[in-house]
Each structure stands twice: as C-alpha cells, then as structure tokens.
Chain A
Amino acid sequence: EPEVTQTPSHQVTQMGQEVILRCVPISNHLYFYWYRQILGQKVEFLVSFYNNEISEKSEIFDDQFSVERPDGSNFTLKIRSTKLEDSAMYFCASRRDTNTGELFFGEGSRLTVL
C-alpha cells in the first residue's frame, strides 16, 4: 500500500542551526502539506503546496520556514534558524485531487532543538 515517507525520524539540533525535513508523498497525489504537533498539543496546519507553489500558510509559517519540491518526488520543509519552540513532531501529508480532505500522513519527524 502506498505511503508517505519522512526522513529523518528524529533530529536533534542546536538553536540557530538550519534543519531540512524530507518527505516523499504518495506518487499520484497532487497536494502536499506540512503539519506540526508540539508535545501535548493539537496537530496544527503549517503550509499547503500545489502546482509547485505555496497555496496557503498559517501564522506559524513565518520567514524562517520554507518548502520546496526540488524534483518530482521529494517535498522538503526547511527551518532556517531553529528556535527552542520549533521542537515538535512535523508531519508531511498528501492527498489526491478530491474534495473530501482525506489526508495521508507520514510517520513524522521529531525535531528537538537544544
């Protein structure tokens, strides 16, 4: 069964360092998303991406964040200068061209900023 894969599963970094989280969405999906979940809190929408550009972004997704689909398969989230409060699980998700909002999530990348 097709699945969304994410790497790394866990990354520990120092405050101020750049981090890139990688995702391989399901191959025939067209819409891509990043969500994050701070420990003990709700899953929160960060950004949506379609047709090689950002479609929507939340208030959380400030200038320190960027997304890219550098080739036909990878979808990356970059945090330019990490802060302590960026520590969270980051989930990549993708969906087909439907209007039902069914997302398929990856297993997540745990980011720990020290």
Chain B
Amino acid sequence: TQLLEQSPQFLSIQEGENLTVYCNSSSVFSSLQWYRQEPGEGPVLLVTVVTGGEVKKLKRLTFQFGDARKDSSLHITAAQPGDTGLYLCAGAGRGGTSYGKLTFGQGTILTVHP
C-alpha cells in the first residue's frame, strides 16, 4: 500500500510570510500532483511534476519533485489571504488507468491572516 505523508497539517501565517508544505513517501510515483480544494468542492489541479528533480513555478508557488520521485514540496512566497485553503498532494500510479489512481496526502489547511 502506498502512503503519502503530508505536513504540516495546519499552517497559520501572516500575509507576506513564506511557507513550505511537504509530501513524503517511501514509494516511487510516476508523477505527483498538487491540488487545491475549497470547502464543498472537488480538488482543483494546480500542477503536475513528472521528472525527478523537476521544479515548476506558478506565480508565487514553487513545486519541486524529489530526485527519487518519492517526495515533493510546495513553497509559497509572500503568502496572501487569497492563498487560504486546503492544499493536497497526490501521487499517481503507473500504467494505463493506474496513472489516475491517486494516493492522496492528508492535506494542509493554510490560513493567511491579513
């Protein structure tokens, strides 16, 4: 069974601060996705990282995939209140339909105070 440990579970910071969320596993994933989920809605894809060591940037968000494709991080620079939400990491299996068989982390609830 693949497990993905996400930390921290809760993060409360002031506007303008930087933060990092981590996802760690003992398993290798074919890719790793980061999602954001609003209350009462489904997860919305932010980014997919595929290659070990890959770094992707989405405005103030930086996503990194570990060299061994077992871990990933999400770094937010100069957080804003609009970044408040639930962030989920999810690792994908390999082959055919397994690419969409995602193992989710527990999620990080981020609160950015003005």
Residue of A nearest to B103 (CB): A45
B44 contacts partner chain A, Cβ-Cβ < 8 Å = yes
Chain A binding site: helix, strand, loop or mixed by DSSP? strand
Provide the residues of chain A in CB contact with B30, threshold 8 Å: 99-101
Cross-chain pair count, CB within 8 angstroms: 80
| Residue from A44, A91, A95, A106 within 8 A of B100 (CB atoms) | A95
Q: A43-B43, A108-B40 are in contact. Are A101 and B33 (CB under 8 A)?
A: yes
Provide the residues of chain A in CB contact with B103, threshold 8 Å: 45
- Cα separation A68 to B92 with both chains bound (whole Å): 24
Task: Tell whether, in the assembled complex, residue B50 and residue A100 are in contact, meaning their CB atoms are under 8 Å apart.
Answer: yes
Return the CB mask of B27-65 against A: 1 if under 8 Å, else 0.
000110101000011111100101000000000000000
B87 contacts partner chain A, Cβ-Cβ < 8 Å = no
Besides A48-B97, A101-B93, A105-B35, 5 more A-B contacts (Cβ < 8 Å) are A31-B99, A42-B105, A42-B107, A45-B102, A55-B96
